[in-house]
A and B are shown apart, each in its own frame.
Chain A
Amino acid sequence: MNVIGNSVYKALVAVLALFSVLSLSACNVPKHGAERGTLRMNIGAEPPGLDWEVETDSTSFDVVSNLMTGLTQYTPTLQCAPGCAKNWDVLDGGKRYVFHLRPDVYWTDGKKLVAGDFEYAWRRLLDPNTGASYAYFLYPIANAFEFNTSKVRDFNQVGIKALDDLTFEVKLTKPAAYFIYLTAFCPCCPSRKDVIEKWGRRWTDPEHIVTNGPFKLVHWAHEYKIELAANPNYFEGRPKLDSIKMFMVPEQATAFALYENDELDYVDNRSFSTPDVERCMHSAEYRNIPLLRNNYLGFNVTKAPFTDARVRRAFSMAIDRSVFPRILRRKEKPSKSWIPEGLAGYSPTTGLTFDPAGAKKLLAEAGYPDGKGFPSVLMLYPNREDVKTVIEDLQDQLLRNLGITIGLQNQEWKVYLQTLHRDPPPIYRANWGADYPDPETFANLFTSHNGNNYACWKNSKYDDIVERASTEQDPKVRAKLYESADHYLCNEEAVIAPTYLATQNLMVKPWVKGMAFNALDIQFFKGVSIEPESSSDPGQRHK
Chain B
Amino acid sequence: MISLIFRRILLAIPVLWIVASITFLLVRIVPGGPFETEKSLPPEIVANLKAKYHLDRPVPEQYLLYMGRLAQGDLGLSYKYIGRTVNDILADAFPVSLELGTAGLLLAILVGVPLGTIAAVRRGSAVDFSAMFMSTAGISVPSFVVGACLIFVFGIWLQILPVALWESWRHMILPAITLALSPAAYLARLTRSSVLEILEKDWVRTARSKGLSGSSTVIKHVVRNALIPVVTVLGPLTAILITGSFVVEYMYAIPGMGRFFITAVGNRDYDLIMGTTLIFGVLLIIANTIVDIVYLVLDPRMQVD
A residues in contact (CB < 8 Å) with B: 1-9, 11-12, 15, 19, 22-24, 26-31, 46, 48-49, 51, 54-56, 128-133, 135-136, 145, 148-149, 201-202, 204, 221-224, 247-251, 253-255, 257-258, 260-261, 263, 412-418, 420-421, 432, 451-452
Contacts and interface: CB of A to CB of B under 8 A. Distances in A.
The 4 A-B pairs of least Cβ separation, nearest first, read A5-B215, A414-B32, A3-B214, A223-B255
B36 A417 contact: yes
28 contacts: A4-B122, A4-B218, A5-B117, A5-B218, A8-B117, A11-B110, A12-B114, A19-B107, A28-B159, A48-B81, A49-B81, A49-B82, A129-B52, A131-B53, A222-B89, A222-B255, A224-B255, A249-B164, A249-B165, A254-B151, A254-B252, A257-B163, A258-B165, A261-B156, A261-B163, A414-B267, A417-B36, A451-B42
A263 B165 contact: yes
Interface in B7-34: 31-33
B5 interface: no
A26 B82 contact: no
A4 B121 contact: yes
A26 B84 contact: no
A254 B171 CA distance: 13
A24 B173 CA distance: 12
A133 B45 contact: yes
B240 interface: no
B83 interface: yes
B255 A251 contact: no
B83 A2 contact: no
Contacts of A258: 163-165
Contact of A201 (B48, B83, B117): B83
A30 B155 CA distance: 11
A377 B218 CA distance: 68
Contacts of B122: 1-2, 4
B33 A418 contact: yes
A8 B42 contact: no
B253 A249 contact: yes
Interface of B: 31-33, 36-45, 48-49, 51-53, 80-84, 89, 92-93, 107, 110-111, 114-115, 117-118, 120-125, 148, 151-152, 154-156, 159-166, 170, 173, 177, 199, 214-219, 223, 250-256, 259, 266-268
B116 to A, nearest CB: 10
B151 to A, nearest CB: 6
Given A148-B44, A261-B159, A11 B114 contact: yes
Nearest to B176: A19
A2 B128 CA distance: 11
B45 A135 contact: yes
A418 B152 CA distance: 40
Contacts of A3: 121, 214-215, 217-218
B118 A9 contact: yes
Among B33, B114, B166, find the residue whose CB has the most chain A CB atoms closer than 10 A. Answer: B114
A201 B118 CA distance: 57
A247 B253 contact: yes
Given A222-B92, A257-B152, 4 more contacts: A2-B125, A9-B114, A201-B83, A202-B83
Nearest to B163: A257
Contact of B161 (A29, A56, A248, A432): A29
A8 B161 contact: no
A27 B164 CA distance: 15
Contacts of B160: 23-24, 26-29
B37 A8 contact: no
Nearest to A260: B156
Contacts of A130: 48
A261 B40 CA distance: 40
A7 B219 contact: yes
A417 B38 contact: yes
Nearest to A50: B83
Contacts of B51: 128, 131
B124 to A, nearest CB: 7
Given A1-B120, A257-B155, A51 B92 contact: no
Nearest to B256: A223
Contacts of B80: 48
A5 B39 contact: no
A136 B42 contact: yes
Contacts of B267: 414
Nearest to B77: A201
Contact of A49 (B40, B84, B123, B159): B84
A413 B262 CA distance: 13
A22 B160 CA distance: 10
A417 B37 contact: yes
A351 B266 CA distance: 36
Contact of B251 (A223, A251, A412, A413): A251
B37 A253 contact: no
Contacts of A4: 118, 121-122, 214-215, 218
Contacts of B32: 412-418
Contacts of A260: 156
Contacts of A412: 32, 266
Given A56-B37, A131-B48, A250-B250, A222 B93 contact: yes
